[in-house]
Amino acid sequence: MKQEAHDISALEAVLGHRFRNPATLEQALTHASYARELESQNAAAGIRVQEIDNEQMEFLGDAVLSFVVSQELFRRFPEYQEGELSKLRAHVVSARHLLRPARALKIGRYLKLGKGEERSGGRNKSALLVNALEAIIAALYLDGALEQAHRFILQAILEPELAELHKHGTRKLPVTDYKSALQEAVHASGRPQPRYVLVKEEGPDHRKMFTMEAHVPPSPGGEDGFVRRGEGGTKKLAEQGAARKAWEYLQSLQGTSAALEPGAASGPSEEP
């Protein structure tokens, strides 16, 4: 327990906030695998108590993050249209960019994980780190009100990302949400909206792998419809992979560069 208290104090120092209720921060760091494992141990001893985890706090933290970033972008870029602000916000709060501050804070070393998650390298998993970061934002909001959460989001997330974007011109954003990019591209080409289909789900619960297909319908001008596949550790990641390949293929059909520049395209589009 002493080591755990020391760890929490060290994280508080990095966050710049001393929690009046340290249990709030501890909940933000408690993965569901740890809570369920503890419940099983208690049940074996005849004790039935529901243990808390950080999943609800992720939900709140995501909302607080979105609000603060929206408020700041609205204030800082009055010349931007709604669509530009939405794309910029999506870029800043994307999992890809939240991973950087999550790693900088060394959140992984503070997580409470079940044994299975620990063995599978949970302390380094991108999804767990990003989810915990959002839960920590919720903890700051609950313990220190919006002011504390706002300060942290600006210092750790928004300011560094805007500084990076400023080097390239803020309007030239890399694609971070390929589903949205694909939706805009098919709309511009007059096609109906794409459809996503789960093709395959395999592996144990702690290492699931999903395969999704993006089905893009034919265009009114007679261009054929097509299908692209993507894989990922979650359905959302698999959908993004499929959407990326479909989006890249549409760009090749149009023969022009997209208004957004892909930030992490890897290789040519694959035929289904």
- Strand 195-202 vs strand 209-216: parallel, antiparallel, or unpaired? antiparallel
3-state DSSP call for residue 216? strand
User: Which residue, among 229, 251, 233, 252, has the nearest Cα to 242 in the 3D structure?
Assistant: 229
Type of residue found at 84: E
**How many other CB atoms are found less than 10 A from the CB of residue 264?**
10
**Terminal Cα distance for the chain, rounded:** 54
Among the candidates 123, 152, 172, a domain finishes at 172
Residue 178 pLDDT: 83
Residue-level pLDDT, tens digit, the chain, 272 residues? 333 434 788 899 999 999 999 999 999 999 989 888 886 776 667 777 677 889 999 999 999 999 999 999 999 888 888 878 888 898 899 888 899 999 999 999 999 998 888 888 889 999 999 999 999 999 999 999 999 999 999 999 999 988 888 776 655 565 667 888 888 888 888 899 999 999 999 988 778 899 999 999 998 888 889 999 999 888 988 998 999 999 888 888 765 433 344 443 333 333 33
Which residues span the domain enclosing 153? 2-172
Q: Cβ contacts of residue 256 below 8 Å, gap of 6+?
A: none
Residue 6 pLDDT: 42
Q: Does any domain span residue 269?
A: no
Phi, psi of 121, rounded to the nearest 5 degrees: 80, 30
State the Cα–Cα distance between residues 141 and 175, nearest whole angstrom. 30
Q: Which residues are known to be catalytic?
A: 62, 134
Among the candidates 172, 205, 224, a domain finishes at 172
Domain match, 109 and 244 both: no
CATH number of the domain where residue 220 is located:
3.30.160.20
CATH number of the domain where residue 16 is located:
1.10.1520.10
Domain match, 20 and 86 both: yes
E strands, 107-264, in order:
174-175, 195-202, 209-216, 226-232, 261-262
Residue 39 pLDDT: 66
Residue 4 pLDDT: 43
Domain match, 141 and 181 both: no
Contact call for residues 21 and 148 (beta carbons, < 8 A): no
Domain match, 148 and 251 both: no
Domain match, 118 and 238 both: no
Q: Does any domain span residue 270?
A: no
User: Which residue, among 28, 37, 29, has the nearest Cα to 114 in the 3D structure?
Assistant: 37
Q: Does any domain span residue 267?
A: no
State the Cα–Cα distance between residues 173 and 7, nearest whole angstrom. 37
Domain match, 231 and 105 both: no
Residue 69 pLDDT: 96
Among the candidates 127, 157, 172, a domain finishes at 172
Domain match, 137 and 204 both: no
Q: Does any domain span residue 271?
A: no
Token pair for 167 = 């080097």
Domain match, 88 and 205 both: no
Contact call for residues 246 and 214 (beta carbons, < 8 A): yes
Domain match, 163 and 191 both: no
- Neighbour-count burial of 82, counting CB atoms closer than 10 A to its CB (0-12 exposed, 13-18 middle, 19+ buried): exposed
Domain match, 12 and 101 both: yes
Domain match, 93 and 195 both: no
The sign of the CA dihedral 213, 214, 219, 222 is negative
Contact call for residues 92 and 164 (beta carbons, < 8 A): no
Type of residue found at 33: S
User: Domain count of the chain?
Assistant: 2
Domain match, 43 and 95 both: yes
